[in-house]
Structures are given as C-alpha cells and as structure tokens.
Amino acid sequence: MTVTTERAIPFFPPDLFDGDRETLLDALYEVGTDPEQKFILGRRTARFEEAIRARLGAGEAVACSSGTSALTLVLAALDLGPGQEVIVPAFGCAPLASTVLSLGATPVFADIVPQTMTMDPEHARTLVSDRTRVLMPAHMFSVMADMPRLRALADQAGVRLVEDAALAQGGVLRGRPAGLWGDAGVYSFVQVKTFGMPGEGGVALSEDTGLADRVRMLRNHGQDGRNRFLHHRVGHNSRFDEVMAAFQLHRLAGLEERLARRAAICSYYSEQFRDLADAGIVAPPAGGDGRFPYVYTLLCEDRDGLRDHLAAEGIDTHVYYPRILPEQPAFAPHARSDGHWPRARDAARRNISLPLYPHLTDAHVEHVAAVVRAFALGRQP
C-alpha cells in the first residue's frame, strides 16, 4: 500500500461506471436503432443468460428485472402459498420476508451465527414444522452461510432450499459457487453489487429445468415465450432490459479483476484489524473458503462513536439493517410471539460497513484502516 493523498472517501461512490460511459451510450444506440426493435428479452438477454450460466457452471440462468423479483418468481414457481411457511434469517434485507408474504405464506424467523451474521442451521432446525415448505438462507456482507449444513437440513426435512445469493457473486464454498447450493438461487445486479449495473436487474439460477422454465414463464406474465397472449399461469412483469444485457456482457470480461481488487482490500482491512477484538471491534477473517468481497462489515461495541470518528476524517460508512426483520412494522404481525433472536439483535446494534469498491486507491484503503485503528486504540490517526 502507498501513501495517503486524498481524504474524502464516499461509501457509495458516484463514479462507479464512469469508465464505461461510452460503452453504455453505444449499447443504448445499438439497441435503440436495431431494426428488430426489441428492448426486452431479446438476443442480448439470451446471450447474457448463457454467459452467466457458463461462468458458473449452472444448469439454468433466467434474467429478471431485479433480485427481489427473481426471488419472488422462484417462490411462486415452487407454488408457495397460504398455510405454508418459509424459514428465513431474522437479520437481513426486507425481501427475505416480503417475498414470502406477497405469496400468502408466512416467514418464520431464525436467529443467526454471530461470526457470519447468516442463518443458524441449528436454530432453523428447531423451527421446521409440517407447514415448512422452504428453507431460505441469505449470504451476508462478505461471508457465505453454512450451505453444507443447510443443504443437509433441507434434505432431511424434505423441504426446498432457496439460496438468497443476491450480493454473493464471486463467493465459492467447497468448490461450489454461491447461488448453486439450493434448488434455486438468485443474484442481484443493482449498482453497488459486485456485478452491479446502472439499473435494476437480477437472475434466478437452478439445476432444475422445470423450475427454471416456470420462472421464465412467470417473468413474462405467464406466457411461455412461443405463444404470445397465451397465459398459462398468473405471472408478473419481470423482464430483463436489452441495453443492460449488452452493458453487462461488456462488463463481464473485467469482473474477475474487480473481484480480485475488492478481495485484496478486504484482506488488507482484516490484517489491520485482527488485533482489535479486545478493543471492541470484531473484523471478518482475511480470506478463507466461502468469502466474497461485497461489503466489508465490522461489529463494533461503540458503533456510533466509530461512525462519528470516521466521518470527522472524511470517511463515509453505512449501517445495514439496524432493526431486525421480525421487529419491522411490516413483518412484526407475522412473527411468532415467542420468537427470540438475541444474536440478530446484537448484529443490528453493532454492524458498521466501510468503503469497499474496486477503484479505491491504496492510499484510501490505508487511511480507512489507520482511522479505525486509531479509534480502537485511542490514538490520533
């Protein structure tokens, strides 16, 4: 790492796609002037799906309008409905609960593992009932959930495993990419994700051809792609944009390089923070199986103090999910009255995320690490 020069470091950088501006404009012109005049679900989307499938070694890849939509369509394709339950983590993004409720089913909230902030397989095991239809873990920040144990639990309980890998692109556990451990998995392409784009988008992944075909049908108002205006199911509008497909095909070539840069930043942070646990700051480990470089998140006893200290040094941070899902007004009426999620509450109270994106300079990364260490050890940065 080199010497610090600039000190203002945003958490959400405004220039994520500056280097691809001309490519985006070219894609817009190409699609807009194409004699075919097909702006959704055209040949570019098909090529993009094939590229994703080939990169991962996935059986099927179905591009959708967002990661949330992909999750909804997967659950709908499994015929989830009233009277059925889905076990989801208590700590995480709202779609973990809202997608279930939108289909008339009930989310059952499991506590998390403190080190990874992902679903605790043992707590999930105690929640399985004769109404359980789906187990739906989510990978969180930069560490995959314990998919081997969750896969075994789903198989033992005779339920489907749906993997919310929305932010885990680049993660691999025991040689298997994130998104391919479940009966289906989803990614999100919203701009801040590791394979983000300037818009909304996502993909559903599955080895089950029948399930994938149902997702394809549902994303286009229940039509099968051959017979327009013949609706086999009550579907949705979750169609992928041709301009974004062309843009993502261009960006795919540089994905590994961007992931590597993110991973290097994560490793540097973790090396710098590994001795801070006694000072109230717990960092994820450097490297390791099942890691992915999406967001770098610390657990800090004095989160507000650290946030203010970093802000005074020109460093933006972000707190994800400061309230657990079963205590959100939208979901609390559906949570079990005897539910107890102490580790999820602790993560909601303590988590704070640091800047992490490929074009952070070495100087920026060094500055962030130095300021965190200064706060923890009571020194000036």
SS (H, E, C) 122-135: HHHHHHCCCCEEEE
SS3 of 295, please? coil
pTM listed for this prediction: 0.94
Which tokens go with 127?
């929640």
Q: What is the pLDDT of residue 380?
A: 58
Structure letter (DSSP) for residue 9: B
Quickly state the pLDDT bin for 1 (edges 50, 70, 90). Answer: very low
Classify domain 255-377 at the CATH topology level.
Answer: Aspartate Aminotransferase, domain 1 (3.90.1150)
Phi-psi group of 159: left, alpha or beta (phi > 0 → left; psi -120 to 50 → alpha; rest → beta):
beta
> Going by DSSP bridges, is the β-strand pair 176-177/184-188 parallel, antiparallel, or unpaired?
unpaired
Q: How far is CA 57 from CA 51, 53, 150, in A?
A: 10, 6, 21
Q: What is the pLDDT of residue 281?
A: 96
Q: What is the pLDDT of residue 378?
A: 87
Sign of CA dihedral 273, 274, 275, 276: positive
Q: Summarize the confidence of residues 336-341 as an average pLDDT.
A: 93
Burial class from Cβ neighbours inside 10 Å (0-12, 13-18, 19+) for residue 15 reads: exposed
Q: What is the pLDDT of residue 3?
A: 35
From-to residues of CATH 3.40.640.10 in the chain: 19-252
SS3 of 109, please? strand
**Which among 28, 110, 104, 32 is positioned nearest to 344, based on CA atoms?**
110
Mean pLDDT across the chain, nearest whole number? Answer: 94
Q: What is the pLDDT of residue 64?
A: 98
Evaluate if residue 217 carries a pLDDT over 60. yes
b or e along 32-46 (b: 16 or more beta carbons within 10 Å of the residue's beta carbon)?
Answer: eeeeeeeebbbebbe
Q: Summarize the confidence of residues 302-312 as an average pLDDT.
A: 97
Q: Summarize the confidence of residues 31-37 as an average pLDDT.
A: 93
Evaluate if residue 2 carries a pLDDT over 50. no
From-to residues of CATH 3.90.1150.10 in the chain: 255-377
Evaluate if residue 6 carries a pLDDT over 80. no
Pick the CATH number of 19-252 from 3.10.129.10, 3.40.640.10, 1.10.940.10, 3.30.70.270: 3.40.640.10
Quickly state the pLDDT bin for 135 (edges 50, 70, 90). Answer: very high
> Going by DSSP bridges, is the β-strand pair 60-64/202-206 parallel, antiparallel, or unpaired?
antiparallel
